[in-house]
Amino acid sequence: MSYTLQFGQIWPFLPRLLEGAVVSLQIAVLAFCGGLLIGTVCAGVRSFGPRWLARIVGLYVVFFTNTPQLVQIYFLYFALPDMGILLSSFMAVVIGMTLNAGAYLTEIQRAGFESRRASEMEAAEVMGFSRIQQIRYVILPHVARVLFPPLSNQFIIVTLGTSMAAVFGVEELTGEAFNINAQTFRSIEIFSVTAGIYVVLTLAASVGLALLGRAVFRARTELI
Amino acid sequence: MHHLDITGLEARYGEHTVLSGIDLTVGRADVIGLIGPSGSGKSTILRVLMGLLPPVGGTVKLDGTAVNYADAAQVRRLRERIAIVFQQYNLFQNMSVLENVCVAPVKIKKRPRREVEEEARALLAKVGLGDKLKRYPDELSGGQQQRVAIVRALALHPEILLLDEVTAALDPELVSEVLDTIRLLAKEGMTMLIVSHEMAFIREVASRVVFMAGGRIVETGAPAQIFDAPVEARTQDFVSKILRH
Ligand SMILES: Nc1ncnc2c1ncn2[C@@H]1O[C@H](COP(=O)(O)OP(=O)(O)OP(=O)(O)O)[C@@H](O)[C@H]1O
Ligand SMILES: [Mg+2]
């Protein structure tokens, strides 16, 4: 028996998919921003901090970049309650993805920190900049410019990674697709529409970020 | 009282002594031309004065007061009075021309932005960069970047300006633009130490010329004396070689 595409049946569910997409974006933005904060601090520690602290950061990075993200979130969701820490599935996913993104973002940013320019820092130093001011006015903007393209890329990766939340019953885009599929069994239609929404999300994010990068950081970004 | 009084200054890179027994007095509005072969320690003197390389011996007095380079607070105060222009410009690549000039006065010295910008615009216009305010360093020629670096130093209102090979990395036609800027400053009475290979320029702008070799001052004198009637054999040798081409 051949399968007849019937998109008509799933249009009524489109609003639910879009609501799911909003949740996906929320998770992505939370995890990415949190990860960026962690990554910035950790990359700073690895480049400028005391050796013992840099070691600890190194362990963190190795752990999170060498274990599956799904397992990391499982740990938060199922193992932490045994230690008396209860997390909603949404929070477990957000925290897990934040820690994971933080590890990758540490590595990405470290490359940028190490491209810091000794001569510019020296110029800043003789102009009266303190160490902190040198980092803030000279290193970070430079790092931002160099790093904007790989960071945007990482944001896309995080956005797509949010589909993992479906496993924990979070009603984000993939989760909603699962639910609707269970109700209608129009798998091909539902998952092609879902895939289409992901494409729109990531394309919009890349173009938006590329434009932002050009305008704010003079990053050398390609639009597509 | 001398503006800058350097006695017995000694500096090392690791084990390697690069400056020894440097004695130099610089009066207010003096323009000192520092010349000498490559590796003779010209840049090192400027770096030591700025506190980028702590001296291992000797004293530096600013307006008669000795500077303790081990004291961060004193070094900070010194850097408010002396500015340096590096040979490689060292402009902030992430800032526009205007921002490069304004960032330290506004963010570090907390002067009002309007006032600083007004002054920066005037200075940049004076050196022919009035139409480049929004450009970034990588969009400028070497000569233009060099002039931005000079203006950036001037915006700090230094009493003393150290210029390291400010013309070395430039095309000949750009050299004249930068030299015009420096001449202007000399005329306005800024105390300057200028390292340069442009003998013609040093001759014209310097009130005194210092010839260095091997980390020591070999000879000091008026430009005419150093270039036309050097006393020391090493100076004669250097001058005759460099003037020949
Ligand atoms: N960062 C450094 N580490 C070790 N040695 C250095 C360093 N910088 C300079 N030197 C050495 O110190 C000596 C003096 O160098 P300096 O840069 O002051 O020479 P210079 O007169 O400015 O030469 P040039 O005309 O080539 O600029 C040289 O022997 C040089 O090799
Ligand atoms: Mg030099």
A71 has a pLDDT exceeding 60: yes
Sheet of B4-13: strand order equals B16-26, B4-13, B57-62, B65-66
Smallest CA–CA distance, residue A136 to chain B, in Å, is 11
Cβ–Cβ below 8 Å for B86 and A129: no
In a domain, A11, yes or no: no
Pocket of ligand 1 (CB under 6 A): B 13, 16, 18, 36, 38-44
Cβ atoms B35, B196 nearer than 8 A = yes
Of all residues in chain A, what percent carry a pLDDT higher than 70? 96
Q: What residues in A contact B86, CB-CB < 8 Å? A: 119, 122-123
Smallest CA–CA distance, residue A113 to chain B, in Å, is 14
In a domain, A21, yes or no: no
Which of these ranges, B17-26, B83-92, B162-171, has the smallest mean pLDDT? B162-171
Count CB atoms within 10 A of the CB of residue B33.
25
Q: How far is the CA of B87 from the centre of ligand 1 (A)?
A: 13
List B residues 134-163 in contact with A (Cβ-Cβ < 8 A): 136, 152, 156
Please tell me if residue A124 touches chain B, with a CB cutoff of 8 Å: yes
| Mean per-residue pLDDT over chain B, rounded | 91
The pLDDT score that the predictor gives to residue A126 is 95
- The ranges assigned to domains in chain B are 28-51+72-244
Of all residues in chain B, what percent carry a pLDDT higher than 70? 97
The mean pLDDT of A4-28, rounded to a whole number, is: 89
pLDDT band at B169 (very low <50, low <70, confident <90, very high): low
Query: CATH code at A182?
Result: 1.10.3720.10
B162 has a pLDDT exceeding 70: yes
Give the strand pairing for B160-164 and B82-85: parallel
In a domain, A1, yes or no: no
Candidates B9, B12, B13: which one to mutate for ligand 1, based on the most atoms within 8 Å of Cβ?
A: B13
Q: What is the C-alpha to C-alpha distance for residues A217 and A219, in angstroms, rounded to an integer? A: 5
Nearest ligand 1 atom, CA B42? 21
The mean pLDDT of A142-157, rounded to a whole number, is: 86
Count CB atoms within 10 A of the CB of residue B212.
26
Q: What is the C-alpha to C-alpha distance for residues A58 and A106, in angstroms, rounded to an integer? A: 9
Q: How far is the CA of A163 from the centre of ligand 1 (A)?
A: 58
The pLDDT score that the predictor gives to residue B183 is 82
The structure tokens 């570090």 sit at B108
Count CB atoms within 10 A of the CB of residue A135.
19
Q: What is the C-alpha to C-alpha distance for residues B142 and B145, in angstroms, rounded to an integer? A: 5
Domain that residue A108 falls in? 30-220
pLDDT band at A223 (very low <50, low <70, confident <90, very high): low
Give the strand pairing for B31-35 and B65-66: unpaired
Q: What residues in A contact B79, CB-CB < 8 Å? A: 126-128
Q: What residues in B contact A218, CB-CB < 8 Å? A: 94, 136
Q: Which amino acid is at B202?
A: I
If one counts the domains in chain A, the total is 1
- H helix runs in A115-139, sequence order: 118-126, 131-134
Mutate to test the interface with B, among A115, A117, A127 (most CBs of B within 10 A): A127
3-state secondary structure chain B: CCCEEEEEEEEEECCEEEEEEEEEEECCCCEEEEECCCCCCHHHHHHHHHCCCCCCEEEEEECCEECCCCCHHHHHHHHCCEEEECCCCCCCCCCCHHHHHHHHHHHHCCCCHHHHHHHHHHHHHHCCCCCCCCCCHHHCCHHHHHHHHHHHHHCCCCCEEEEECCCCCCCHHHHHHHHHHHHHHHHCCCEEEEECCCHHHHHHHCCEEEEEECCEEEEEECHHHHHHCCCCHHHHHHHHHHHHC
In a domain, A201, yes or no: yes
Q: Which amino acid is at A168?
A: F
Instruction: Identify the residue with better confidence: B41 or A219.
Output: B41
Nearest to B6 by CA among B222, B226, B233, B216: B216
Each residue's pLDDT tens digit, A158-202? 999 999 999 998 899 999 999 998 888 888 889 999 999 999 999
- H helix runs in A49-88, sequence order: 51-65, 69-74
Highest mean pLDDT among A49-53, A81-85, B135-139, B207-211: B207-211
Q: What is the C-alpha to C-alpha distance for residues B2 and B89, in angstroms, rounded to an integer? A: 29
CATH of domain B28-51+72-244: 3.40.50.300
Please tell me if residue B52 touches chain A, with a CB cutoff of 8 Å: yes
Give the strand pairing for B216-221 and B208-213: antiparallel
The pLDDT score that the predictor gives to residue A114 is 73
Closest partner residue to B108 (CB to CB) among A117, A133, A145 is A133
In a domain, A74, yes or no: yes
The pLDDT score that the predictor gives to residue A78 is 87
Cβ atoms B204, B234 nearer than 8 A = no
A12 burial via Cβ count (<10 Å: 0-12, 13-18, 19+): exposed
Each residue's pLDDT tens digit, A114-134? 766 788 999 999 999 998 898
In a domain, A4, yes or no: no
Q: What residues in A contact B92, CB-CB < 8 Å? A: 120, 123-124, 137-138
Each residue's pLDDT tens digit, B202-231? 888 899 999 999 999 999 999 999 999 999
Q: Tell me how long chain B is.
A: 245
